[in-house]
Structure 1
């Protein structure tokens, strides 16, 4: 039996169509064009794994309820099928779901999206005129390409690995709590609103500081790389104390 080569489901060096857009959403679509079927599949598998958390709570509840008959009657009647279902779920279904989710993200998405984005940015960068390279540090240009490719990869990976998983878990939790008691679900909803409000307050502030940090890091990297690249000129014409 030959397993599918999921590591090649995304063409890592597929050329992009047109120039990179200026808007964030359009730019993300430009970067990830050609990889969407694999990304959607990975998101579905992550959501499937997230739904397993709700099923876990449901099955554990059934097993605990079955203990009401006492040790002597635990494996009798319908309880036996509950135990068999629980064993099958925890030893087979749940591990397979989590394994497929992890494999799709770590084998299909992450190793392929990074070179896909980087190759597209690099092709576009090489098409610029000579003045473009004269007006900036070579190391900074390279650092920006690497940072952007990694950022897009992290966003795609985390949306699949965290957002899809979390949304499926939340939806399942709400359904489960509503089945138990609507008041418990209401309390969970209030906590959820406060949680999203906290995220909404922090994210813009994190985004501003993250952009400044990335820009400063790229600038320093560019200065270091250009100094080493042009070390003969530095040695001939610059003073060591000035460079320090």
Structure 2
């Protein structure tokens, strides 16, 4: 680990806690941790790789919390999780082969559209609705597409999974959030497997941040289960809008 001051490490730990909290509820935790790691002086590839280390633990903690409350059965998601792992691995391996600039231009528009959808669409609550896609079809199409994006670029992956579960699978907001976490864990793990060889993550720093990420994820999941859509929707709208603004600022 590079020679980081105690103040800087504490700042990264605080960022990881906040990211775990936000990610467990609405996704988008990388919006907090990746810029923090880069501000600490890590090169972009190493920042992304180190972010995957702590992100894996945060997603796992949130997934376990939701499973314990009976909101999701991980055994029924194992097939989808394998698909997410392979797609996340493939996305990370192909980072240098696919031009990402067009995706970076389109992503802010997608995120703003997502924020408007959750902010303005009436009737979005914790009640399940009629699905537009069968589980096998969702696993074969939406899951690998979003997981590939997670390995390839990453920001907003949890929010995209949640949107898919709401719009295509017909899940209520809380149930969609719960089902997102195992898939996000799997795609994170696939990305980490690839970045471990290329980005050379800082394992010790990632482990320290992981402890804070887990604490934030447990708190966020508990609060989301208590309040439900009344908390998840506004936080999702806020994180999507902030991520879009950050990406636009980077381009400018």
Which TM class, normalised by the smaller chain length? Answer: 0.3 to 0.5
Rg larger in structure: 1
TM-score (norm 2): 0.33
TM-score (norm 1): 0.34
Work out which structure has the larger RCO, using CA pairs closer than 8 Å and 6 or more positions apart in sequence. 2
Larger helix percent:
1
